[in-house]
Amino acid sequence: MSASDTAAPRRWAAVAPAWPVLRRALYLTHRWLGIAGCLLFVIWFLSGLVMMFVGYPALTQAERLTGLAPLRTDQVRVNPAAVWRELPDAVRARPPRRMTLEMMATATPEGDAFQPVWRVVDAKGRAHAWSAVNGRALGPVDATAATRIGQAFSRSPGARVVETLDRDQWTVPQGLDALRPLHRVEVGDAAGTMLYISAVTGEVVRDTTRHERFWNWLGSVPHWLYFTPLRADPPLWRTVVLWVSGAGIASAVSGMVIGLMRVRLRQRFKNGSCSPYRGWMRWHHLTGLMGGLLVCTWVASGWLSMDPNRWFQRTGSDEAAQLRWQGPFTPDLSALGPPPLPDARELQLLSFDGRLLMQWRDAAGHRQVVDARTGTAFALSDEDLTAAARRFMPDATPPALQWLDREDAHWYSHHGTRVLPVWRVRFTDAALTWLHVDPANGQILGVSQAQARWRRWLFNAPHSLDFPWLIQRRPLWEVVTGLLLAAGSIVAISGMVIGWRRLRHPSRRRSGAQDAKGADGAKGTKGTKGTKGAKGTKGAKGAKGA
Protein backbone atom coordinates (compact mmCIF):
# COMPACT_ATOMS: atom_id res chain seq x y z
CA MET A 1 0.00 0.00 0.00
CA SER A 2 1.41 3.40 -0.98
CA ALA A 3 1.82 6.32 1.38
CA SER A 4 -1.04 8.13 -0.34
CA ASP A 5 -3.31 5.14 0.27
CA THR A 6 -2.68 5.23 4.00
CA ALA A 7 -2.75 9.04 4.42
CA ALA A 8 -6.54 9.39 4.42
CA PRO A 9 -7.18 6.65 7.06
CA ARG A 10 -4.53 8.20 9.28
CA ARG A 11 -6.10 11.62 9.02
CA TRP A 12 -9.53 10.17 9.79
CA ALA A 13 -8.10 8.26 12.78
CA ALA A 14 -6.90 11.58 14.20
CA VAL A 15 -10.28 13.26 13.68
CA ALA A 16 -12.53 10.34 14.61
CA PRO A 17 -12.53 10.86 18.41
CA ALA A 18 -13.81 14.43 17.97
CA TRP A 19 -16.34 13.57 15.26
CA PRO A 20 -19.29 12.77 17.58
CA VAL A 21 -18.88 16.14 19.31
CA LEU A 22 -18.56 17.98 16.00
CA ARG A 23 -21.57 16.20 14.58
CA ARG A 24 -23.71 16.98 17.59
CA ALA A 25 -22.66 20.62 17.37
CA LEU A 26 -23.70 20.57 13.72
CA TYR A 27 -27.14 19.16 14.57
CA LEU A 28 -27.69 21.58 17.45
CA THR A 29 -26.61 24.53 15.33
CA HIS A 30 -29.07 23.66 12.59
CA ARG A 31 -31.86 22.80 15.03
CA TRP A 32 -31.83 25.95 17.11
CA LEU A 33 -30.91 28.39 14.37
CA GLY A 34 -33.63 26.75 12.28
CA ILE A 35 -36.20 27.11 15.05
CA ALA A 36 -35.29 30.77 15.41
CA GLY A 37 -34.90 31.46 11.71
CA CYS A 38 -37.38 29.34 9.74
CA LEU A 39 -40.17 31.86 10.24
CA LEU A 40 -37.81 34.51 8.93
CA PHE A 41 -36.95 32.31 5.94
CA VAL A 42 -40.67 31.89 5.18
CA ILE A 43 -41.13 35.65 5.39
CA TRP A 44 -38.13 36.28 3.13
CA PHE A 45 -39.31 33.88 0.43
CA LEU A 46 -42.97 34.90 0.42
CA SER A 47 -42.14 38.62 0.60
CA GLY A 48 -39.72 38.13 -2.29
CA LEU A 49 -42.62 36.76 -4.30
CA VAL A 50 -44.62 39.93 -3.56
CA MET A 51 -41.67 42.16 -4.48
CA MET A 52 -41.57 40.67 -7.97
CA PHE A 53 -44.77 42.58 -8.73
CA VAL A 54 -44.99 45.49 -6.26
CA GLY A 55 -41.92 47.61 -5.54
CA TYR A 56 -41.20 49.98 -2.69
CA PRO A 57 -43.08 53.28 -3.11
CA ALA A 58 -41.23 55.94 -5.11
CA LEU A 59 -42.10 58.97 -7.18
CA THR A 60 -41.18 58.00 -10.72
CA GLN A 61 -39.86 60.44 -13.28
CA ALA A 62 -43.06 60.08 -15.30
CA GLU A 63 -45.26 60.78 -12.25
CA ARG A 64 -43.20 63.81 -11.27
CA LEU A 65 -43.24 65.37 -14.73
CA THR A 66 -46.97 64.73 -15.14
CA GLY A 67 -47.69 66.46 -11.82
CA LEU A 68 -45.71 69.60 -12.66
CA ALA A 69 -47.38 72.57 -14.33
CA PRO A 70 -46.17 73.71 -17.79
CA LEU A 71 -43.15 76.01 -17.60
CA ARG A 72 -43.71 79.76 -17.97
CA THR A 73 -40.26 81.05 -18.88
CA ASP A 74 -41.69 84.50 -19.59
CA GLN A 75 -42.17 84.91 -15.82
CA VAL A 76 -38.50 84.23 -15.01
CA ARG A 77 -36.83 87.42 -13.76
CA VAL A 78 -33.87 85.99 -11.84
CA ASN A 79 -30.70 84.79 -13.53
CA PRO A 80 -29.69 81.36 -12.18
CA ALA A 81 -26.18 82.74 -11.65
CA ALA A 82 -27.63 85.04 -8.98
CA VAL A 83 -29.09 82.21 -6.93
CA TRP A 84 -25.93 80.13 -7.50
CA ARG A 85 -23.91 82.91 -5.86
CA GLU A 86 -26.08 82.57 -2.76
CA LEU A 87 -24.27 79.33 -1.95
CA PRO A 88 -20.93 79.29 -0.06
CA ASP A 89 -17.75 79.44 -2.15
CA ALA A 90 -16.70 75.97 -0.97
CA VAL A 91 -19.95 74.49 -2.34
CA ARG A 92 -19.76 76.40 -5.63
CA ALA A 93 -16.30 74.96 -6.28
CA ARG A 94 -18.03 71.83 -7.56
CA PRO A 95 -20.97 71.47 -9.95
CA PRO A 96 -24.30 70.81 -8.25
CA ARG A 97 -25.88 67.41 -8.29
CA ARG A 98 -28.95 69.01 -9.79
CA MET A 99 -30.17 72.50 -10.76
CA THR A 100 -33.63 72.84 -12.27
CA LEU A 101 -36.36 75.33 -13.10
CA GLU A 102 -39.92 74.22 -12.32
CA MET A 103 -43.30 75.77 -11.61
CA MET A 104 -44.59 75.71 -8.03
CA ALA A 105 -48.11 76.43 -6.84
CA THR A 106 -48.46 79.40 -4.52
CA ALA A 107 -50.43 79.29 -1.28
CA THR A 108 -52.17 82.65 -1.81
CA PRO A 109 -52.10 83.24 -5.56
CA GLU A 110 -51.90 86.83 -6.75
CA GLY A 111 -52.97 86.78 -10.35
CA ASP A 112 -51.33 83.51 -11.43
CA ALA A 113 -51.51 80.46 -9.12
CA PHE A 114 -47.97 79.31 -10.00
CA GLN A 115 -44.50 80.79 -9.92
CA PRO A 116 -41.23 79.54 -11.47
CA VAL A 117 -38.61 78.39 -8.94
CA TRP A 118 -34.94 77.49 -9.15
CA ARG A 119 -34.14 74.29 -7.26
CA VAL A 120 -30.59 73.24 -6.40
CA VAL A 121 -29.15 70.11 -4.81
CA ASP A 122 -25.55 71.10 -4.13
CA ALA A 123 -22.47 68.87 -4.25
CA LYS A 124 -22.93 67.95 -0.58
CA GLY A 125 -26.52 66.83 -1.14
CA ARG A 126 -28.23 69.79 0.54
CA ALA A 127 -31.43 71.09 -1.07
CA HIS A 128 -32.22 74.76 -1.78
CA ALA A 129 -34.98 76.63 -3.59
CA TRP A 130 -35.42 80.25 -4.72
CA SER A 131 -38.19 82.14 -6.46
CA ALA A 132 -37.28 82.79 -10.09
CA VAL A 133 -39.51 85.90 -9.94
CA ASN A 134 -37.96 87.86 -7.07
CA GLY A 135 -34.95 85.75 -5.99
CA ARG A 136 -36.22 85.16 -2.44
CA ALA A 137 -35.28 81.88 -0.80
CA LEU A 138 -38.24 79.57 -0.35
CA GLY A 139 -38.97 77.70 2.80
CA PRO A 140 -39.72 76.62 5.27
CA VAL A 141 -42.87 75.65 3.41
CA ASP A 142 -45.79 75.49 5.85
CA ALA A 143 -48.84 73.22 5.78
CA THR A 144 -51.00 75.81 4.00
CA ALA A 145 -48.52 76.12 1.15
CA ALA A 146 -48.04 72.34 1.04
CA THR A 147 -51.82 71.88 0.73
CA ARG A 148 -51.92 74.18 -2.31
CA ILE A 149 -48.90 72.38 -3.85
CA GLY A 150 -50.54 68.98 -3.28
CA GLN A 151 -53.81 70.14 -4.83
CA ALA A 152 -52.04 71.45 -7.93
CA PHE A 153 -49.82 68.37 -8.30
CA SER A 154 -52.67 65.87 -7.93
CA ARG A 155 -55.31 68.03 -9.70
CA SER A 156 -57.51 67.33 -6.67
CA PRO A 157 -59.07 70.30 -4.85
CA GLY A 158 -59.77 68.09 -1.86
CA ALA A 159 -56.11 67.30 -1.15
CA ARG A 160 -55.01 68.39 2.32
CA VAL A 161 -52.07 68.06 4.70
CA VAL A 162 -52.85 65.53 7.40
CA GLU A 163 -49.47 65.41 9.13
CA THR A 164 -46.01 66.95 9.16
CA LEU A 165 -43.36 64.43 10.07
CA ASP A 166 -39.68 63.71 9.89
CA ARG A 167 -40.15 60.18 8.51
CA ASP A 168 -42.65 57.37 8.37
CA GLN A 169 -42.73 53.86 6.95
CA TRP A 170 -42.66 55.05 3.33
CA THR A 171 -40.04 57.79 3.69
CA VAL A 172 -37.27 56.00 5.59
CA PRO A 173 -34.54 56.02 2.85
CA GLN A 174 -31.59 58.30 3.53
CA GLY A 175 -31.96 59.93 0.12
CA LEU A 176 -34.77 62.06 1.57
CA ASP A 177 -32.77 63.33 4.56
CA ALA A 178 -31.94 66.71 2.98
CA LEU A 179 -35.64 67.34 2.31
CA ARG A 180 -37.02 66.64 5.79
CA PRO A 181 -39.40 67.44 7.46
CA LEU A 182 -42.13 66.29 5.11
CA HIS A 183 -45.80 67.21 4.80
CA ARG A 184 -47.99 64.17 4.21
CA VAL A 185 -50.89 65.12 1.93
CA GLU A 186 -54.02 63.00 1.59
CA VAL A 187 -55.26 63.39 -1.98
CA GLY A 188 -58.69 61.90 -1.35
CA ASP A 189 -58.91 59.86 -4.54
CA ALA A 190 -60.17 56.30 -4.99
CA ALA A 191 -56.59 54.93 -4.97
CA GLY A 192 -55.92 56.33 -1.50
CA THR A 193 -52.94 58.34 -2.76
CA MET A 194 -50.62 60.07 -0.30
CA LEU A 195 -48.11 62.72 -1.39
CA TYR A 196 -45.03 63.77 0.58
CA ILE A 197 -43.93 67.39 0.14
CA SER A 198 -40.62 68.76 1.38
CA ALA A 199 -40.92 71.54 3.93
CA VAL A 200 -37.46 72.70 2.78
CA THR A 201 -38.10 73.18 -0.94
CA GLY A 202 -41.85 72.67 -1.48
CA GLU A 203 -41.36 69.88 -4.02
CA VAL A 204 -43.28 66.61 -4.12
CA VAL A 205 -40.72 63.91 -3.32
CA ARG A 206 -42.77 60.73 -2.91
CA ASP A 207 -46.19 59.26 -3.50
CA THR A 208 -47.88 56.08 -2.32
CA THR A 209 -51.20 54.39 -2.96
CA ARG A 210 -53.30 52.13 -0.76
CA HIS A 211 -52.39 49.21 -3.03
CA GLU A 212 -48.65 49.88 -2.63
CA ARG A 213 -48.85 50.33 1.13
CA PHE A 214 -50.80 47.10 1.66
CA TRP A 215 -48.54 44.92 -0.45
CA ASN A 216 -45.34 46.48 0.86
CA TRP A 217 -46.26 45.38 4.37
CA LEU A 218 -46.13 41.86 2.88
CA GLY A 219 -43.17 42.59 0.59
CA SER A 220 -40.35 45.11 0.96
CA VAL A 221 -40.86 45.98 4.63
CA PRO A 222 -40.38 42.47 6.09
CA HIS A 223 -37.94 41.42 3.36
CA TRP A 224 -35.51 44.27 4.00
CA LEU A 225 -36.35 44.60 7.73
CA TYR A 226 -37.45 48.10 6.75
CA PHE A 227 -39.26 48.92 9.97
CA THR A 228 -39.19 52.64 10.68
CA PRO A 229 -37.52 52.66 14.15
CA LEU A 230 -34.78 50.33 12.89
CA ARG A 231 -34.26 51.89 9.45
CA ALA A 232 -34.07 55.37 10.99
CA ASP A 233 -30.67 54.32 12.38
CA PRO A 234 -28.73 53.18 9.26
CA PRO A 235 -25.65 51.74 11.07
CA LEU A 236 -27.86 49.76 13.45
CA TRP A 237 -30.07 48.54 10.60
CA ARG A 238 -27.03 47.42 8.61
CA THR A 239 -25.59 45.59 11.61
CA VAL A 240 -28.88 43.82 12.33
CA VAL A 241 -29.30 42.70 8.72
CA LEU A 242 -25.71 41.42 8.57
CA TRP A 243 -26.04 39.39 11.77
CA VAL A 244 -29.51 38.03 10.98
CA SER A 245 -28.56 36.99 7.46
CA GLY A 246 -25.25 35.61 8.76
CA ALA A 247 -27.16 33.37 11.18
CA GLY A 248 -29.36 32.36 8.25
CA ILE A 249 -26.26 31.29 6.29
CA ALA A 250 -25.10 29.12 9.21
CA SER A 251 -28.54 27.53 9.46
CA ALA A 252 -28.77 26.83 5.71
CA VAL A 253 -25.23 25.48 5.32
CA SER A 254 -25.48 23.22 8.38
CA GLY A 255 -28.79 21.91 7.06
CA MET A 256 -27.23 21.10 3.69
CA VAL A 257 -24.39 19.19 5.36
CA ILE A 258 -26.78 17.21 7.58
CA GLY A 259 -29.08 16.50 4.63
CA LEU A 260 -26.20 14.99 2.66
CA MET A 261 -25.04 12.99 5.68
CA ARG A 262 -28.48 11.46 6.20
CA VAL A 263 -29.33 10.54 2.62
CA ARG A 264 -28.76 7.05 1.17
CA LEU A 265 -28.97 6.60 -2.57
CA ARG A 266 -27.70 3.01 -2.78
CA GLN A 267 -28.20 1.18 0.49
CA ARG A 268 -31.68 2.40 1.41
CA PHE A 269 -33.13 2.62 4.90
CA LYS A 270 -35.49 -0.06 6.21
CA ASN A 271 -38.48 1.93 5.03
CA GLY A 272 -37.11 1.64 1.50
CA SER A 273 -36.48 5.37 1.24
CA CYS A 274 -33.30 7.33 0.82
CA SER A 275 -34.39 9.35 3.86
CA PRO A 276 -34.81 7.95 7.38
CA TYR A 277 -37.65 10.37 8.18
CA ARG A 278 -41.41 10.48 7.88
CA GLY A 279 -43.99 13.26 7.75
CA TRP A 280 -42.79 16.84 7.93
CA MET A 281 -39.23 15.73 8.68
CA ARG A 282 -39.18 13.79 5.42
CA TRP A 283 -40.52 16.82 3.50
CA HIS A 284 -37.89 18.99 5.12
CA HIS A 285 -35.08 16.55 4.38
CA LEU A 286 -35.89 15.90 0.73
CA THR A 287 -36.89 19.44 -0.23
CA GLY A 288 -33.84 20.67 1.64
CA LEU A 289 -31.66 18.42 -0.47
CA MET A 290 -33.26 19.67 -3.65
CA GLY A 291 -33.57 23.33 -2.68
CA GLY A 292 -30.84 23.69 -0.07
CA LEU A 293 -28.32 25.12 -2.49
CA LEU A 294 -30.92 27.66 -3.58
CA VAL A 295 -31.59 28.64 0.04
CA CYS A 296 -27.87 28.95 0.75
CA THR A 297 -27.15 31.11 -2.28
CA TRP A 298 -30.16 33.35 -1.65
CA VAL A 299 -29.36 34.09 1.96
CA ALA A 300 -25.61 34.38 1.28
CA SER A 301 -26.18 36.80 -1.60
CA GLY A 302 -28.57 38.80 0.60
CA TRP A 303 -25.80 39.04 3.19
CA LEU A 304 -23.38 40.24 0.50
CA SER A 305 -25.86 42.95 -0.52
CA MET A 306 -24.97 44.76 2.71
CA ASP A 307 -21.33 44.94 1.56
CA PRO A 308 -19.77 43.27 4.61
CA ASN A 309 -16.32 44.61 5.45
CA ARG A 310 -16.87 47.16 2.64
CA TRP A 311 -15.53 44.71 0.07
CA PHE A 312 -17.30 46.35 -2.88
CA GLN A 313 -16.52 50.00 -2.18
CA ARG A 314 -14.93 52.01 -4.99
CA THR A 315 -11.25 52.72 -4.47
CA GLY A 316 -10.11 56.30 -4.37
CA SER A 317 -12.19 59.45 -4.77
CA ASP A 318 -13.66 60.45 -8.12
CA GLU A 319 -14.78 63.98 -7.16
CA ALA A 320 -11.78 65.58 -8.85
CA ALA A 321 -12.26 63.33 -11.87
CA GLN A 322 -15.92 64.31 -12.12
CA LEU A 323 -14.95 67.98 -11.95
CA ARG A 324 -12.43 67.51 -14.76
CA TRP A 325 -15.12 65.81 -16.83
CA GLN A 326 -17.76 68.50 -16.33
CA GLY A 327 -15.51 71.52 -16.09
CA PRO A 328 -16.51 74.73 -14.25
CA PHE A 329 -20.21 75.28 -13.71
CA THR A 330 -21.26 78.83 -14.63
CA PRO A 331 -25.07 79.03 -14.83
CA ASP A 332 -25.24 82.48 -16.40
CA LEU A 333 -28.28 82.89 -18.64
CA SER A 334 -28.63 86.43 -19.93
CA ALA A 335 -32.04 85.62 -21.35
CA LEU A 336 -34.34 82.64 -21.24
CA GLY A 337 -36.45 82.23 -24.32
CA PRO A 338 -39.49 80.04 -24.82
CA PRO A 339 -39.01 76.28 -24.34
CA PRO A 340 -38.17 74.32 -27.50
CA LEU A 341 -40.69 71.65 -26.43
CA PRO A 342 -44.40 72.59 -26.58
CA ASP A 343 -45.29 71.08 -23.17
CA ALA A 344 -42.04 71.57 -21.26
CA ARG A 345 -42.30 70.88 -17.53
CA GLU A 346 -38.66 71.13 -16.43
CA LEU A 347 -35.42 72.83 -17.38
CA GLN A 348 -32.22 71.30 -16.00
CA LEU A 349 -28.85 73.08 -16.23
CA LEU A 350 -25.89 70.82 -16.91
CA SER A 351 -22.20 71.24 -17.55
CA PHE A 352 -19.94 69.34 -19.94
CA ASP A 353 -16.33 70.43 -20.45
CA GLY A 354 -17.26 73.84 -19.09
CA ARG A 355 -20.12 74.25 -21.57
CA LEU A 356 -23.47 75.14 -20.04
CA LEU A 357 -26.27 72.93 -21.37
CA MET A 358 -30.03 73.29 -21.04
CA GLN A 359 -31.98 70.03 -20.91
CA TRP A 360 -35.72 70.45 -21.39
CA ARG A 361 -38.25 67.74 -20.56
CA ASP A 362 -41.93 67.61 -21.41
CA ALA A 363 -44.73 65.79 -19.62
CA ALA A 364 -44.09 62.61 -21.61
CA GLY A 365 -40.41 62.58 -20.62
CA HIS A 366 -39.07 63.58 -24.04
CA ARG A 367 -35.79 65.50 -23.87
CA GLN A 368 -34.12 68.20 -25.88
CA VAL A 369 -30.62 69.38 -24.98
CA VAL A 370 -29.21 72.65 -26.32
CA ASP A 371 -26.06 74.66 -25.78
CA ALA A 372 -27.02 77.56 -23.51
CA ARG A 373 -24.77 80.04 -25.29
CA THR A 374 -25.38 79.16 -28.93
CA GLY A 375 -28.89 77.76 -28.71
CA THR A 376 -27.88 74.90 -30.99
CA ALA A 377 -28.67 71.27 -30.30
CA PHE A 378 -25.96 69.51 -28.31
CA ALA A 379 -24.22 66.57 -29.96
CA LEU A 380 -21.57 64.45 -28.23
CA SER A 381 -18.95 63.44 -30.79
CA ASP A 382 -16.48 60.57 -30.41
CA GLU A 383 -13.68 63.13 -30.17
CA ASP A 384 -15.46 65.03 -27.36
CA LEU A 385 -16.03 61.78 -25.48
CA THR A 386 -12.42 60.64 -25.85
CA ALA A 387 -11.09 64.02 -24.71
CA ALA A 388 -13.40 64.00 -21.67
CA ALA A 389 -12.30 60.44 -20.80
CA ARG A 390 -8.66 61.50 -20.91
CA ARG A 391 -9.43 64.39 -18.60
CA PHE A 392 -11.26 62.03 -16.27
CA MET A 393 -8.21 59.74 -15.94
CA PRO A 394 -5.15 61.55 -17.37
CA ASP A 395 -2.60 58.88 -16.40
CA ALA A 396 -4.46 55.96 -17.96
CA THR A 397 -4.00 54.63 -21.45
CA PRO A 398 -6.62 55.78 -23.98
CA PRO A 399 -9.90 54.08 -23.11
CA ALA A 400 -11.98 51.80 -25.28
CA LEU A 401 -15.39 53.12 -26.34
CA GLN A 402 -18.39 50.84 -26.69
CA TRP A 403 -21.80 51.89 -28.00
CA LEU A 404 -24.72 50.16 -26.27
CA ASP A 405 -28.15 50.38 -27.86
CA ARG A 406 -29.58 47.48 -25.87
CA GLU A 407 -29.24 46.15 -22.34
CA ASP A 408 -26.47 43.73 -21.47
CA ALA A 409 -25.17 41.95 -18.37
CA HIS A 410 -23.95 45.16 -16.71
CA TRP A 411 -26.37 47.80 -17.99
CA TYR A 412 -29.92 46.62 -17.49
CA SER A 413 -33.09 47.13 -15.49
CA HIS A 414 -36.04 44.98 -14.51
CA HIS A 415 -38.47 47.74 -15.42
CA GLY A 416 -36.93 49.36 -18.49
CA THR A 417 -35.70 52.52 -16.72
CA ARG A 418 -32.10 52.42 -17.96
CA VAL A 419 -31.12 55.16 -20.40
CA LEU A 420 -30.44 53.79 -23.87
CA PRO A 421 -28.41 54.21 -25.95
CA VAL A 422 -25.28 54.89 -23.85
CA TRP A 423 -21.54 55.02 -24.31
CA ARG A 424 -19.46 52.62 -22.22
CA VAL A 425 -15.95 53.96 -21.60
CA ARG A 426 -13.57 51.21 -20.47
CA PHE A 427 -10.26 52.08 -18.81
CA THR A 428 -7.35 49.71 -18.19
CA ASP A 429 -6.39 51.14 -14.80
CA ALA A 430 -5.78 48.89 -11.79
CA ALA A 431 -9.46 49.10 -10.77
CA LEU A 432 -10.69 48.43 -14.34
CA THR A 433 -12.98 51.46 -14.23
CA TRP A 434 -15.99 51.72 -16.53
CA LEU A 435 -18.08 54.82 -17.23
CA HIS A 436 -21.58 54.84 -18.72
CA VAL A 437 -22.24 58.15 -20.46
CA ASP A 438 -25.50 59.61 -21.74
CA PRO A 439 -24.84 60.66 -25.36
CA ALA A 440 -27.74 63.14 -25.23
CA ASN A 441 -26.07 65.41 -22.66
CA GLY A 442 -22.55 64.05 -21.97
CA GLN A 443 -23.32 63.26 -18.32
CA ILE A 444 -21.82 60.28 -16.51
CA LEU A 445 -24.69 57.97 -15.56
CA GLY A 446 -22.62 55.46 -13.63
CA VAL A 447 -19.08 54.60 -12.55
CA SER A 448 -18.21 51.00 -11.83
CA GLN A 449 -15.02 49.19 -10.94
CA ALA A 450 -14.11 45.52 -10.97
CA GLN A 451 -15.29 44.90 -7.39
CA ALA A 452 -18.69 46.42 -8.16
CA ARG A 453 -19.05 44.10 -11.12
CA TRP A 454 -18.13 41.19 -8.86
CA ARG A 455 -20.97 42.30 -6.58
CA ARG A 456 -23.29 42.16 -9.57
CA TRP A 457 -22.49 38.46 -10.03
CA LEU A 458 -22.31 37.60 -6.31
CA PHE A 459 -25.50 39.43 -5.29
CA ASN A 460 -27.76 40.44 -8.19
CA ALA A 461 -27.34 37.27 -10.23
CA PRO A 462 -28.06 34.67 -7.50
CA HIS A 463 -30.44 36.85 -5.47
CA SER A 464 -32.62 38.34 -8.20
CA LEU A 465 -31.75 35.86 -10.96
CA ASP A 466 -30.43 38.77 -13.04
CA PHE A 467 -29.01 36.57 -15.76
CA PRO A 468 -29.21 38.30 -19.17
CA TRP A 469 -30.68 35.29 -20.94
CA LEU A 470 -33.45 35.16 -18.30
CA ILE A 471 -34.44 38.76 -17.55
CA GLN A 472 -34.64 39.54 -21.26
CA ARG A 473 -37.24 36.81 -21.70
CA ARG A 474 -40.31 37.86 -19.77
CA PRO A 475 -42.45 36.30 -18.40
CA LEU A 476 -39.95 33.41 -18.19
CA TRP A 477 -38.09 35.28 -15.44
CA GLU A 478 -41.28 35.57 -13.37
CA VAL A 479 -42.11 31.87 -13.85
CA VAL A 480 -38.63 30.61 -12.91
CA THR A 481 -38.23 32.98 -10.00
CA GLY A 482 -41.72 32.21 -8.68
CA LEU A 483 -41.13 28.44 -8.80
CA LEU A 484 -37.80 28.74 -6.99
CA LEU A 485 -39.32 31.00 -4.33
CA ALA A 486 -42.11 28.47 -3.86
CA ALA A 487 -39.54 25.67 -3.46
CA GLY A 488 -37.62 27.67 -0.88
CA SER A 489 -40.88 28.41 0.95
CA ILE A 490 -41.65 24.68 1.24
CA VAL A 491 -38.23 24.05 2.80
CA ALA A 492 -38.76 26.89 5.27
CA ILE A 493 -42.40 26.04 6.11
CA SER A 494 -41.57 22.40 6.82
CA GLY A 495 -38.71 23.53 9.06
CA MET A 496 -41.02 25.95 10.85
CA VAL A 497 -43.54 23.16 11.57
CA ILE A 498 -40.78 20.90 12.88
CA GLY A 499 -39.43 23.70 15.05
CA TRP A 500 -42.87 24.46 16.44
CA ARG A 501 -43.36 20.82 17.38
CA ARG A 502 -39.96 20.72 19.02
CA LEU A 503 -40.79 23.75 21.14
CA ARG A 504 -44.19 22.32 22.14
CA HIS A 505 -42.80 18.88 23.03
CA PRO A 506 -39.08 19.30 23.77
CA SER A 507 -38.63 15.82 25.27
CA ARG A 508 -40.68 13.99 22.65
CA ARG A 509 -38.98 12.13 19.80
CA ARG A 510 -39.74 13.56 16.41
CA SER A 511 -42.23 11.39 14.57
CA GLY A 512 -40.63 9.67 11.63
CA ALA A 513 -37.04 10.56 12.61
CA GLN A 514 -35.59 7.18 13.43
CA ASP A 515 -32.93 8.65 15.61
CA ALA A 516 -33.44 6.76 18.85
CA LYS A 517 -30.32 4.76 18.10
CA GLY A 518 -27.98 7.54 17.12
CA ALA A 519 -27.78 10.44 14.78
CA ASP A 520 -27.36 8.17 11.76
CA GLY A 521 -30.85 6.67 12.21
CA ALA A 522 -31.97 3.14 11.24
CA LYS A 523 -29.74 1.43 13.86
CA GLY A 524 -26.91 3.83 13.07
CA THR A 525 -24.61 3.51 10.12
CA LYS A 526 -21.32 2.31 11.43
CA GLY A 527 -19.18 5.40 11.07
CA THR A 528 -16.88 5.04 8.12
CA LYS A 529 -16.43 1.34 8.42
CA GLY A 530 -15.00 1.04 4.95
CA THR A 531 -12.13 3.35 5.87
CA LYS A 532 -9.52 1.10 7.35
CA GLY A 533 -7.64 2.13 10.45
CA ALA A 534 -10.44 4.14 11.99
CA LYS A 535 -12.58 1.17 13.10
CA GLY A 536 -15.68 3.28 12.43
CA THR A 537 -17.40 5.33 15.08
CA LYS A 538 -20.62 3.50 15.64
CA GLY A 539 -23.21 6.02 14.67
CA ALA A 540 -22.11 8.47 17.38
CA LYS A 541 -24.55 7.10 19.94
CA GLY A 542 -23.91 10.02 22.21
CA ALA A 543 -25.28 12.45 19.65
CA LYS A 544 -28.84 11.31 19.92
CA GLY A 545 -31.25 12.60 17.37
CA ALA A 546 -31.38 15.51 15.06
pLDDT in tens, 205-247: 999 999 999 999 999 999 999 999 999 999 999 999 999 999 8
Domain locations in the chain as residue ranges: 61-226, 515-546
Select from 291, 220, 226 the least CA-distant residue to 491.
291
pLDDT-above-90 percentage for the chain: 49
Q: If you average pLDDT over residues 80-85, what whole number do you get?
A: 93
Q: For the whole model, what pTM was predicted? A: 0.84
d(C-alpha 96, C-alpha 88), whole Å: 12
Q: What's the DSSP call for residue 127? A: E
Give the C-alpha separation, 381 to 237, whole Å.
45
Most confident of 85-99, 142-156, 265-279, 462-476: 142-156
Least confident span in 223-237, 246-260, 301-315, 391-405: 301-315
Tell me the pLDDT band of 91, cut-offs 50, 70 and 90: confident
Asked whether the bond before 475 is cis by omega within 30 degrees of 0, the reply is yes
Euclidean distance between CA atoms 284 and 278, whole angstroms? 10
pLDDT of residue 1: 53
Give 526's pLDDT tier (boundaries 50, 70, 90). Answer: very low
**Lowest-pLDDT choice from 87-96, 312-321, 502-511:** 502-511
φ/ψ (deg, to 5) at 177: -60, -40
> How confident is the model at residue 112, as a pLDDT?
55
User: What pLDDT, on a 0 to 100 scale, did the predictor assign at position 258?
Assistant: 85
CB-based contact 482:49 (threshold 8 Å): yes
> Residue 14's pLDDT is what?
67
| Residue of 523 and 20 predicted with greater confidence | 20
